Structure 1
Amino acid sequence: MAFTRATGKHRRPSRAARVSANVAGIATLTAAGVVAGVAAPAFAASDDAQRPEDTGLTQAVVIGDVMAEHVDAQAESQRSAADEAAARLQAEESAKQKAVQAKQRYEEAKRKAEEERAAKEKAARDEERKRLGTFVSPIDGSYVSTAYKASSGLWSSGSHTGIDMHAETGTSVHAVGMGTIVEAGWGGAYGNNVVIQMADGTYTQYGHLSSIDVSVGQSVTPGQQIGLSGATGNVTGPHLHFEARTAPTYGSDIDPIAYMAAHGVNL
């Protein structure tokens, strides 16, 4: 008795069906994390030689790895750029801080220098005012040889209107304080004489000079030489006649010893 097979039973799966099954199996195993260990045997079990169209999943995996490496490289590049930007910002901030600190140091040094300069200038001005306000003796190292108001027929008024100070001809005669020359020349009985209007409004006179070193309108300072002593005019010998006055004219004399003492000088 002959046997016949039912149509469609016990037929070998077509090639397309087998490839689809292999791919599906590999996909399933890949999802389970075992594609590396199973993929090769699964393909080896196939009774046909592997063809390029059967390796789509492998290509997909390779492409995925390449893309992942590319993404990692981009991320690393971005991190590096971010780090460089942060470092650059930090360096710029540090430079700004240093610039601010340098400017502050400069301003502080400038302020101190200006304060020191101002202090020195003030000290110099004070010293100058002090010097200009100081009175000195009309002749260094001299002494009074004839007192104020001494009586004698040598003077037309009958008394001495100033003091005589011992001095040889040619001795330097100084302005006793700061002032302005109001007379410089021949003064009759006073011989060559100089009259100075002092800063406080009083006057001083220097008579019997052998020479005169100043002129009318000139400003003088304490201790400045105005001439040399001598024996010109109505004299018996070389000396300096010194007067203190309330006006530039004769007859306004005041005690020169008291006048100079009031300005800190003892004659």
Structure 2
Amino acid sequence: MAFTRATGKHRAPSRLSRKSAHAAGVAALATTGVIGTLASPALAADTDTRALEDTGLNQAVITDTIADRIDAQAEAQEREAEEAAALAEAQAKAEAEAKRKAEARAKAAREAEERAAREAERKRLNSFTLPVAGSYVSTSYGAGGAMWSSGSHTGIDFHAPYGSEVVSVGLGTVVEAGWGGAYGNNVVIRMADGTYTQYGHLSSVSVAVGERVMPGQQVGISGSTGNSSGPHLHFEARTSAEYGSDIDPVAYLRSHGVNV
């Protein structure tokens, strides 16, 4: 039995037929301009999509740029605040250091003044002076004569008109003040260096026993009491408070820097 190819609507076209039909369709579409018509909306749609996409990207970029600027401004403000705080702290430290230095200088100046004052006071206390200001020796030490019981002058006489101020030649403590026989009204002072000085023939006494006297402090007024031939000051330097321990008063005063 022989088979025959089926014909009619159920018969599939051959490959060659499909290719031919496709080519013919493409040619027809090209001829009628359908391809161009179909292509244009697709291209337009693609362009619109890119435009939308570009608009969204631009918006994102703008938003990011504003945020970056805000962040940058915040960071700049924060840096400015930190710099201002650092500057304020540095200024405070500088002011504190300047204050400390000023206080140190003031303290050093006070200490220097105090040292200078102490030194000046020490020098003053250790200083010696003439018992009668501007006076001179009228009778020397060891001069002989019948006026002195020992046969010689145990001190020196300073020229001192009646009523002249008589002062302690240095720092010391009064051990005798009042009548002293041949010395008349007299004062004996134990000096700071352990020696003794005597001031005789005074018209009056200005200090008391036990009193501490400064260099140049008044101890009496000159006169002519006791064994005296006229107003003057009899001055002695001794190694003890007792009579007979006298030493050369001129050499004594000169050894303490007094110009006699």
1:77 aligned residue: 70
For residues 111-159 of structure 1, the C-alpha deviation after alignment (integer angstroms, 9 at most, x for no partner) is 2232233223222322222222221111122222222222233223222
1:9 aligned residue: none
1:171 aligned residue: 164
Q: Does 1:117 align with 2:110?
A: yes
For residues 164-196 of structure 1, the C-alpha deviation after alignment (integer angstroms, 9 at most, x for no partner) is 111111101111111122222222221211111
Superposed, 1:120-131 pairs within 5 Å as 120-131=113-124
Counterpart of 1:135 in 2: which secondary structure?
coil
User: Distance in 2 between the 1:88 and 1:30 partners?
Assistant: 49
User: Distance in 1 between the 2:48 and 2:169 partners?
Assistant: 119
- With normalisation by structure 1, the TM-score equals 0.73
Counterpart of 1:181 in 2: which secondary structure?
strand
User: Distance in 2 between the 1:64 and 1:83 partners?
Assistant: 28
For residues 51-106 of structure 1, the C-alpha deviation after alignment (integer angstroms, 9 at most, x for no partner) is xxxxxxx7x98887766655544433332222111100000111111122222222
- With normalisation by structure 2, the TM-score equals 0.74
Gaps of 5+ in 2: 1-40
Q: Does 1:157 align with 2:150?
A: yes
How far the C-alpha of 1:210 sits from its partner, in A, is: 1.3
2:192 aligned residue: 199
Structure 1 window deviating more from structure 2 (238-247 vs 150-159): it is: 150-159
Q: Does 1:252 align with 2:245?
A: yes
How far the C-alpha of 1:261 sits from its partner, in A, is: 1.8
Structure 1 window deviating more from structure 2 (150-159 vs 63-72): it is: 63-72
Amino acid at match of 1:201: G
- Residues 136, 23 of structure 1: CA spacing in aligned structure 2 closer, same or farther, 3 A cutoff? farther
Identity percentage of aligned residues: 50
- Please, what is the CA RMSD of the aligned residues? 2.6
User: Distance in 2 between the 1:143 and 1:105 partners?
Assistant: 58
Superposed, 1:1-267 pairs within 5 Å as 26=45, 28-30=46-48, 33=50, 35=51, 70-267=63-260
Amino acid at match of 1:182: V
Equivalent residues, number: 221
Q: Whose Rg is larger?
A: 2
